[in-house]
Chain A
Amino acid sequence: MTLAAPNNARKDSKGLLRYLPQEGPLRVAIMGGFGLISILVLWQAICMILQVPDYLVPSPIKVFAAMRRDWVLLADNSVPTIKAAFYGFVIGNFIAVLVAVTFVYNKLIEEMYYPVAILIKTIPIVAIAPVLKLILGNGLAPKVAVAALICFFPTLVNAVRGFRSVSPNLLELMHVLSASRGEVFRYVRVYGALPYVFSALKISVTMCVLGAIVGEWIGANKGIGYILIQSMFDFDAPRLFATILVASTIAIIGFTIVSVLEKLVISWDPGESV
């Protein structure tokens, strides 16, 4: 007896695409690269055809030229931004997880301070930044504080949800085993929360770069935020765009690191029912 091939079988790719892997991160990277290149080509074409002046929107070639020209300046100024973003990321997320644990174990504190956390979240970060500058001065501290503040809320919300997401079955088992609250936390709740916390970290790792830049806008003489403002005043659009590209690259690298860490730490299927 012969069986007919299922008619929903994936058709073989034609042309150059057949050299690509069918799925996986390499395919995602290559296809994403194609997409990006197509947009750059389109952008270059529009700039050339419409003869858009460089001081308004520079062509990609001009942006890359500016990047080559100013790479020492951009690299030097990336350091304080990365520093502020990194410290902000660590501090903001650490405090958020700590507060989440307190909320999960103390209903009264949660009832009192969750609304306050939401209230703080509703104030635009650009409005808080000058306040932080007034309080913390001109150094690294206000930039770190803005970055930390921007990381805080998504991680708090997700961590609270995560610590509470534990399957009731597992809690019942831990009860039968006479586990203490600390043991339930250590052996069950932490693991239940990890997938939620990592989702939040992936958001906050890009947000903390934004926070550091906002912090630098309010008052700094170095950093990516400072270069952005300076390039705007100098009408140096190619450098402005090149700086944006650097900021975006920093965020992408951060996102990739957190994603790799997530893959290493979460070796189980978080959606699996217990």
Chain B
Amino acid sequence: MNAAIELSGINVTFGAGAKAIEAVGHVDLSIAKGQFVSLIGHSGCGKSTLLRVIADILEPTMGTTEILGAPPAKARQERTFSMVFQQSILMPWANVIDNVTLPFKVGGKHDPSLGMDPMDALKLVELEGFAKAKPAELSGGMRQRVAIARALVTRPKILLMDEPFGALDELVRDTLNVELLRIWRQSGMTIVFVTHSLQEAVFLSQRVVVLSRRPSQVSDILDVDLPDERTLELKDDPRVGRQVARLRALLDAG
């Protein structure tokens, strides 16, 4: 079996009767192991909703989800996946290292030897000197790095990211984009990345899933034609520009 995530006939409807809002219409999607896939769509189209279904935060009204062959609840309990949210969601009362080690302290017995050394996780996001700092002492970009370290510390097979760099300024976002690609290449994880930035989606991903307006469906999938080795300079490359334009056309068509 080659799929990391398999969504079949997913429908999410909030409420019931006349006031029911259908957020996700009907989504069938298969994401292969080790791929970097972005979900993109118009604002409010349900891309975050779909990610929350995968993360077992939300139960779909219809359809089934499989994560490496297991239902999402089991995958969640087994720490098959980690999630990074738009906000860093750090505990303000705990220092950086305590925030990073939170996944080891909660959620039942997990063999810490299967995870990463928390200091190595901090090193990976280049924050090794800030283990004892409180979140309030860090910039927005640094906080988001802590959140990424917290997600990586359990060595998940899948990383779900819900607009993780959406609240950051462009320069910080660029740096984190490059770092994320480096981490992805080193780890061999599957990454599902929700973003509203077309350029970010093209730059990071191997495949971009385009969702239609609400109730969303997969309207198209763009296979990104860029070299595997991606540096920051590539963001200004005409090839990125061309694929961003294609993506925009696909979005408008959807």
Question: Which A residues are closer than 8 A to B by beta carbons?
Answer: 167, 169-170, 172-180, 183-184, 187-188, 191, 266-270, 272-274
Contact = CB atoms under 8 A, between A and B. Distances in A.
B184 interface: no
7 closest cross-chain pairs (CB), A and B: A178-B107, A179-B106, A268-B92, A183-B106, A191-B93, A169-B89, A268-B93
Contacts of A179: 106-107
B232 interface: no
A267 B134 contact: yes
A177 B92 contact: no
Contact of B134 (A178, A184, A268, A274): A268
Contacts of B108: 178, 180
A269 B93 CA distance: 8
Contact of A177 (B87, B93, B107, B136): B107
A69 B28 CA distance: 89
Most buried by A among B90, B92, B105, B134: B92
B76 A183 contact: no
B89 A183 contact: no
A274 B146 CA distance: 13
Contacts of A188: 91
A176 B106 contact: no
Contacts of B76: 176, 178
Nearest to A190: B93
Interface string B72-114: 0000110100110101011111000000001101111000000
B134 A177 contact: no
Contact of B106 (A167, A174, A191, A270): A174
A65 to B, nearest CB: 50
B85 A172 contact: yes
B12 interface: no
A235 B83 CA distance: 73
A187 B134 contact: no
Interface of B: 55-57, 76-77, 79, 82-83, 85, 87, 89-93, 102-103, 105-108, 134-136
A187 B57 contact: no
A172 B102 contact: no
A116 B136 CA distance: 41
Contact of B92 (A178, A183, A187, A269): A269
A179 B57 CA distance: 13
A269 to B, nearest CB: 6
B107 A169 contact: no
A177 B91 contact: no
A274 B57 contact: no
Contacts of A267: 93, 134
A191 B91 CA distance: 9
Contact of B77 (A178, A184, A274): A178
A175 B57 contact: yes
Contacts of B135: 268, 272
Nearest to B160: A176
Contact of B85 (A169, A184, A187, A272): A169
Contacts of B79: 178
A170 B106 contact: no
A270 to B, nearest CB: 8
Contacts of B89: 167, 169-170, 172-173, 274
A176 B57 contact: yes
A183 B109 CA distance: 13
Contacts of A172: 57, 85, 89
A66 to B, nearest CB: 48
Given A187-B102, A191-B93, 16 more contacts: A169-B87, A173-B83, A176-B56, A176-B76, A179-B107, A180-B106, A180-B107, A266-B93, A267-B134, A268-B93, A269-B92, A269-B136, A272-B135, A272-B136, A273-B87, A274-B87
Contacts of A178: 76-77, 79, 106-108
23 contacts: A167-B89, A169-B87, A169-B89, A172-B89, A173-B85, A177-B102, A177-B103, A177-B106, A178-B77, A178-B108, A179-B106, A180-B106, A180-B107, A183-B107, A187-B106, A188-B91, A267-B134, A268-B93, A269-B92, A269-B136, A272-B92, A272-B136, A273-B87
